[in-house]
Structure 1
Amino acid sequence: MRGLRAHARLTGAGAVFLGEVQTAPVFRLWSIEDRFPGMMRAEAGGASIAAELYAIPHAGFAAVLESEPDGLCVGRVALADGTSPLGVLAEPRLVQGREEITAHGGWRAYLRAKGIHPL
């Protein structure tokens, strides 16, 4: 995400920021040790989550995924506008026992609420 510690991986892979988006209200969000978020599609209790949309060349997308922490994977992210681009989602094992932060509505809002400086 723009301005956060892993953003350089995106720009280094040729990613172009397209805009801020909201997911469809079908996701839940967890903090993974306050280092990065993990988002999963929910069977129940989902919410709309603030996110960012990027255009990334295929080779760059592969490079970004290879550098992601273990437990993150590629999946379709349903957006509020009805589109479903590829994105990074969490595997169930990654979020087990982690702090659920869905009520904050997004990673940046969670970091602000906790007074965490993300860089």
Structure 2
Amino acid sequence: MFLNGTAMSGQKDHGCIAGRARFLGPATTAPNFRFFAIRDEFPGLFPVDNGGAAIDGELYEMTDELLFDVLLPQEPRELEIGTITLADGSEVRAMILQPERIHAGDKVVDIADFGGFRAYQAHLAANSAASALLGL
């Protein structure tokens, strides 16, 4: 399973798989995706035919029970399990953004150029620190 958001190591939802899934290492998607932050709460991969980017994440081996009974029920309703291609050509499971499930008015930011969710989170933290420094 390719993880690219809040279930990755060090993220808020990692505890649901920690010690139960085997970390296989960092991984990167093929450059076939746009990557969106939804309400700045979680990211979503969206497959595209043109203008895609490679997105960083982590690869885990987990049982179907862990995936379907523990991880998936915690995933946001805007995501659905699917299959993606990694940079090395292998196909793995991942969560795919379902745009029709996004509520009108939700904040949606294209973060593909950051290359991954952690880089976007670092950007948000730096902006917050800059605003605090400037007294904004």
The one-letter amino acid of 1:75's match is: G
Counterpart in 2 of 1:17? Answer: 23
Provide the rounded CA distance (Å) in 1 between the counterparts of 2:77 and 2:98. 9
| SS, match of residue 18 in structure 2 | helix
* Cα drift, residue 11 of structure 1: 2.0
Provide the rounded CA distance (Å) in 2 between the counterparts of 1:9 and 1:28. 26
2:119 matched to 1:112?
no
Provide the rounded CA distance (Å) in 2 between the counterparts of 1:100 and 1:115. 17
- What TM-score does the superposition give when structure 1 sets the normalisation length? 0.89
Provide the rounded CA distance (Å) in 2 between the counterparts of 1:111 and 1:68. 19
Provide the rounded CA distance (Å) in 2 between the counterparts of 1:114 and 1:50. 18
User: Which of 69, 75, 83 pairs up with 2:76?
Assistant: 69
Provide the rounded CA distance (Å) in 1 between the counterparts of 2:101 and 2:43. 10
Aligned-pair identity (%):
36
Provide the rounded CA distance (Å) in 1 between the counterparts of 2:49 and 2:89. 18
* Cα drift, residue 17 of structure 1: 1.1
* Cα drift, residue 20 of structure 1: 0.4
* Larger CA Rg, structure 1 vs 2: 2
* Cα drift, residue 44 of structure 1: 1.9
Paired residues for 1:85-104 under 5 Å: 85-94=92-101, 98-104=108-114
* Cα drift, residue 10 of structure 1: 1.9
| SS, match of residue 39 in structure 1 | strand
Provide the rounded CA distance (Å) in 1 between the counterparts of 2:60 and 2:120. 21
- What TM-score does the superposition give when structure 2 sets the normalisation length? 0.78
Counterpart in 1 of 2:32? Answer: 26
User: Which of 75, 86, 108 pairs up with 1:79?
Assistant: 86
* Cα drift, residue 94 of structure 1: 4.4
Q: Deviations over 1:44-71 (max 9, x none)?
A: 2100000110001010000211221111
Provide the rounded CA distance (Å) in 2 between the counterparts of 1:112 and 1:66. 27
Counterpart in 1 of 2:129? Answer: none
- Provide the aligned C-alpha RMSD in A: 1.7
